Amino acid sequence: AARSKLKLWDISNQQLDEIENRGESLQLFQILSPISGTVSKRHVANGDYVEAGTPLFTVIDLTSVWTMFEAYESDLPWIKIGDSILFEIQAYPGENYAGKIVHIDPFINPETRTAQVRIAIDNKSKELKPGMFARGLVKSPAGEGPEEALIPKSAVLWTGKRSLVYTKVP
């Protein structure tokens, strides 16, 4: 019965065999995490009583991370899932990273008038850390043609017979 209870705590068979061979009860023993990663939060302290189902630690895998950007609502018509984005991390100036947009939040933050845009990044080197500041530039296929120009609607002068737009030529 004791072996079954300890198995519920994900104690390995090797650890159980060591406890049995010792012949006496242990007050302290190691509990190994079922997953590998980085401890992001500790829920217990030394000496705490732990009941079944109590989380001990929060472990996260940092080999794949999300980079979250805020896009102004006026820019949302030009941003689509799958668009490429180039960004720079403030901690590593001059080093550029690339990714693709995987999610655009359907809600606008009423205070900042922005929507969250999520980029999934492969982080095998683990140089990107949670909470780092990033600045990005989305490359959108809209307006890429040689004869196309993107202008605000208010820039068009309606003369009645035709519409005019003045452009500055260098």
Confidence of residue 19 (pLDDT cuts 50, 70, 90): confident
Contact 10, 31 (CB under 8 A): yes
pLDDT at 112 over 90: yes
Q: Model pTM?
A: 0.63
Task: Burial-class residue 120 by CB neighbours within 10 Å (0-12, 13-18, 19+).
Answer: middle
Greatest alpha-carbon span in the chain: 99
Contact 68, 79 (CB under 8 A): no
Of 8-22, 67-81, 101-115, highest mean pLDDT: 101-115
Is the model more confident about 38 or about 140?
38
81-85 CB contacts, 8 Å cutoff, 24+ apart? 83/138, 83/139, 83/140, 83/141, 84/138, 84/139, 85/119, 85/136, 85/137, 85/138, 85/139
Residue 42's pLDDT is 93
